[in-house]
Amino acid sequence: MPVRMLPRAAAAALTLTFTVAAAPASAAPAAAPDRALAARVVTYDAGASAEFKAAVDRGAAIWNESVGNVELRPVAAGQRANIRVVADNGWPRAVTTSLGNGTVYIGRQAVDEGHSTIRISSHELGHILGLPDRKPGPCSSLMSGSSAGTTCTNPYPNAAEKSEVEGKFAAALGRAETSPR
Ligand SMILES: [Zn+2]
């Protein structure tokens, strides 16, 4: 009977609200995995990356060589990818919607200025994997991006950048056991 259910539902809603409000945002420790977890697979669609497709595939492969907690994989035909990679005439950029999800733009403006297409691809994928820009910075840093100059072609994340991505995906994997993607 709706009349009997209403108070109970209202009480439940109040309880839920209280619980959520009472949990301090800072009191959420990352669960320490007690067993080896498989990598989280993040798919990418380079179908609209035009002349940059090989560079995008190389950038993804570099991440796969560099970290173990996430694996970038070309999306299967007909499936929706976590990451869309698009070529355009602007400056390269990434729009991240959540960890491992978003759109990468391989902008021809930087390519025309002489920046490495593989470094651009790897750098922008780094944003989708949770890394911020670190500009200005040295060529040894992937996230120093264009600030390292056009002579810098290094497409590899440094130790700190690798570790940061590993940590973010370790936390994501720990939570993934109770929540669907
Ligand atoms: Zn950037």
Q: Is residue 158 part of a domain?
A: yes
Q: Is residue 18 part of a domain?
A: no
Q: Is residue 23 part of a domain?
A: no
Q: What's the pLDDT tens digit per position in 36-48?
A: 557 899 999 999 9
Query: Domain count of the chain?
Result: 1
Neighbours of ion ligand 1 (CB under 5 A): 133, 145
Q: Is residue 82 part of a domain?
A: yes
CA-to-CA distance for 132 and 142, rounded, in angstroms?
10
Q: What's the pLDDT tens digit per position in 125-157?
A: 999 999 999 999 999 999 999 999 999 999 999
CA 114 / ligand 1 centre spacing (Å)? 16
Q: What is the CATH number of the domain that holds 108?
A: 3.40.390.10
pLDDT at 38: 75
CA-to-CA distance for 39 and 173, rounded, in angstroms?
8
Q: Is residue 150 part of a domain?
A: yes
CA 173 / ligand 1 centre spacing (Å)? 25
Residues whose CB falls within 8 Å of the CB of residue 102, separated by 6 or more in sequence, listed in order: 82, 83, 84, 94, 95, 96, 127, 128
In this prediction the pTM is 0.77
